[in-house]
Amino acid sequence: MGQKILVVEDNELNLKLFCDLLRAHAYVAEPVRDGREALATARSFGPDLIVMDIQMPHITGLELIEQIKADDELRPIPIMAVTAYAAKGDEERIRDAGAEGYVSKPISVLRFVEAVRTLLEAAAARAEAEPPAPQAEGEAEAEGEGEAEAESPGPETEEAAAPEGEAAPEESPENAEPEEEPPTASP
């Protein structure tokens, strides 16, 4: 299954275009037509990225971005604003609200897909670089003892654990190099 993207867009044609483009590139797209449903859908869908229209009735994309970034559960999800609202200073305001990406309408298909890919890669890199969230006191004990030891071995590598001049043992027989046979004398 591909990465999940929530698309918040009130215009039916744009919504269909964005979802079709994402699906064509192996993403799982979840459409939201009414911005008032965006937060609840984001919580239940668990997207890897949110594509957010800025000009919508009832609630603006800018307000939604601020609400998402104020929510501890949703804050880590990157947001790409997609808007025709491209007056001077708008991109800066949208980014200041918390959007990590910005694409103006009418969209370039290539630029849209590239922006999605870039934001997802950046989010994955951030997630790998960040230490895991601290656990509550009772959680670590419930997960079982010894896991901490398995996650952080003593030496950096097995080779570092081997005495100098000796190689570390091979991990599996399939990866082992065949031993050379000693030369045989000719009769």
pLDDT tens for each residue of 112-131: 999 999 999 999 998 888 76
More confident call, 64 vs 181: 64
pLDDT digits (tens, 9 = 90+) for 90-102: 889 999 999 999 9
Residues 6+ apart with CB under 8 A from 10: 33, 34, 35, 53, 56, 57
* Domain residue limits, the chain: 4-129
Q: What are phi and psi of 31, to 5 degrees?
A: -80, 145
* CATH of span 4-129: 3.40.50.2300
Cβ contact 140:51 at 8 Å:
no
